[in-house]
C-alpha cells in the first residue's frame, strides 16, 4: 500500500508545487502508515526532493525531444499506482495536474476529487474538504471508492521539510492509447506564470489603457511577480486572455495579490479568493475590492504605483 504523488518539473527540475505535494503526501502517508512514492518524468535533479520525506521516486525517461503526453503520462502513473497498490494519488491544480487527474481516475476506477484544500479528515471511506463555486464556498466530500485521486489547490498546504533520502527507481514509459500528439510548445520561460508565482500583480480598467501597463509590468518585475488582469481588460484586448483571472479565467492562489485599478466584481473576487494576502490600490473608496482586501490604499494608481516600484 502506498500514497503516490506526481511531481511536475520544468527542464528536469522539480517545480515548487512538487514539494508541496510531497509535503501533503507525506502527511497522508503518515496518517495511513504507508510509504510515500513520487513519480516524475525526465528529472535531472532528484536530490531536491530529499527534504520532503519521500521513500521512493520513480524517474521515468521519455524519448529525447518528446513533449508532455497526458495519455502516456497517466498510463505510466496508473501502472506504478497499481504495482504499488496506491490508495491515494495526489496531483497539483496546474493545467497538467487537472488534465491527468480525471484520466488517472478512469484508468484506475478511482474517484477524482478536485480543489482539495486540506488533509482528509478520515480515510475509510475518504472524506476531505474542497473548495467549490469557484472559491465562494467549501464542501466536505465523501468518496465511495477505494482509490482516490486528489488534486490539491496550490498553496493550500504549504511546505513541510524533514529528513529524507529518497530511493530512485526507473520505470518504462507507457505506450500511447490514442493518436493525440503535442507538436510544439509556446511558453514564455523568462516570465513567471500565474500558477507558479508567489506574488501576482493585477491591473484593471482603472489603468485607462494598454499603454499604461508598464506600471503593472515594472512592479511585477521588481517583486518577481506574475502579471494578471481583470475580465474587461482582456475582453477589450488590452491584455491576452491568458492573464484574465476570475471565475471564467484563471484562479489565483498566490501568497500576495496586488490589485491596481480593479473594482472587484464578485466574479473577479471569486477567482482570487484563495490568495493569502490581498492588497488593493484604487481611487474609488467605494470599490467592492476594499471589502475583500487585507490592505488598501485609496489613491491614484498613476501616483502610488511608481512610488511603490521605487521602494519595493
Partner 1 sequence: MNILVCISPVPDTTSKINFKEENTAFETLGIQYVINPNDEFGLTRAVHLQQKVDAKVTVVTVGDASCEPILRKCLAIGADQAIRVDLQPQDGFQVATQLEALCKKTNYDLIITGRESIDYNGGMVGGLLAVHMGIPYVPNCVHLDLSGNDVALEREIDGGKERLKSSLPLIVGAQKGLVEEKDLIIPNMRGIMQARQKPLEVVSPIEVTAATLVEHYEKPPEKGAVKLVDAEDIDGLIDLLTNEAKVL
Least Å from the CB of residue 283 to partner 1? 9
Are the CB atoms for 285 and 309 separated by under 8 Å?
no
Least Å from the CB of residue 71 to partner 1? 7
Phi, psi at residue 75, to the nearest 5°?
-65, -40
Least Å from the CB of residue 163 to partner 1? 26
Q: Enumerate residues 6+ apart whose C-beta is below 8 A from 9.
A: 15, 18, 40, 41, 42, 43
Are the CB atoms for 168 and 50 separated by under 8 Å?
no
Least Å from the CB of residue 96 to partner 1? 7
Q: Enumerate residues 6+ apart whose C-beta is below 8 A from 288.
A: 263, 264, 265, 266, 269
Least Å from the CB of residue 132 to partner 1? 5
Least Å from the CB of residue 34 to partner 1? 22
Are the CB atoms for 90 and 54 separated by under 8 Å?
no
Q: Which of 213, 205, 232 shows the shortest CA–CA distance to 305?
A: 213
Are the CB atoms for 14 and 43 separated by under 8 Å?
yes
Phi-psi region of 113 (alpha: psi -120 to 50; beta: other; left: phi over 0): beta
Alpha-carbon span 65 to 72, nearest angstrom: 15
38 DSSP assignment: E
Amino acid at each position: 500500500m502506498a500514497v503516490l504523488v506526481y511531481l511536475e518539473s520544468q527542464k528536469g527540475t522539480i517545480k515548487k508545487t512538487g514539494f508541496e505535494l510531497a509535503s501533503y503526501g507525506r502527511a497522508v502517508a503518515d496518517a495511513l502508515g504507508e510509504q510515500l512514492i513520487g513519480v516524475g518524468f525526465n528529472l535531472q535533479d532528484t536530490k531536491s526532493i530529499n527534504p520532503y520525506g519521500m521513500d521512493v521516486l520513480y524517474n521515468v525517461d521519455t524519448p529525447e525531444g518528446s513533449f508532455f503526453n497526458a495519455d502516456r503520462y497517466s498510463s505510466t502513473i496508473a501502472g506504478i499506482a497499481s504495482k504499488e497498490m496506491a490508495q491515494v494519488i495526489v496531483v497539483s491544480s496546474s493545467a497538467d495536474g487537472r488534465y491527468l487527474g480525471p484520466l488517472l481516475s478512469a484508468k484506475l476506477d478511482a474517484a477524482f476529487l478536485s480543489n482539495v484544500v486540506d488533509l482528509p479528515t478520515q480515510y475509510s471511506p475518504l472524506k476531505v474538504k474542497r473548495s467549490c463555486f469557484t472559491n465562494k464556498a467549501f464542501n466536505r466530500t465523501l468518496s465511495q471508492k477505494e482509490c482516490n485521486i486528489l488534486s490539491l489547490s496550490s498553496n493550500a498546504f504549504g511546505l513541510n521539510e524533514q529528513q529524507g533520502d529518497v530511493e530512485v527507481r526507473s520505470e518504462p514509459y507507457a505506450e500511447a492509447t490514442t493518436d493525440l500528439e503535442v507538436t510544439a510548445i509556446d511558453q514564455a520561460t523568462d516570465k513567471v506564470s500565474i500558477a507558479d508565482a508567489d506574488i501576482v500583480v493585477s491591473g484593471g480598467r482603472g489603468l485607462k489603457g494598454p499603454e499604461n501597463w508598464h506600471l503593472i509590468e515594472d512592479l511585477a518585475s521588481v517583486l518577481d511577480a506574475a502579471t494578471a488582469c481583470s475580465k474587461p481588460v482582456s475582453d477589450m484586448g488590452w491584455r491576452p486572455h491568458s492573464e484574465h483571472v476570475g471565475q471564467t479565467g484563471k484562479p489565483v492562489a498566490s501568497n500576495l495579490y496586488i490589485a491596481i485599478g480593479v473594482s472587484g466584481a464578485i466574479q473577479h473576487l471569486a477567482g482570487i479568493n484563495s490568495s493569502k494576502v490581498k492588497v488593493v490600490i484604487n481611487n474609488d473608496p467605494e470599490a467592492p475590492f476594499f471589502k475583500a482586501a487585507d490592505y488598501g490604499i485609496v489613491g491614484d494608481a498613476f501616483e502610488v504605483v511608481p512610488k511603490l516600484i521605487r521602494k519595493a
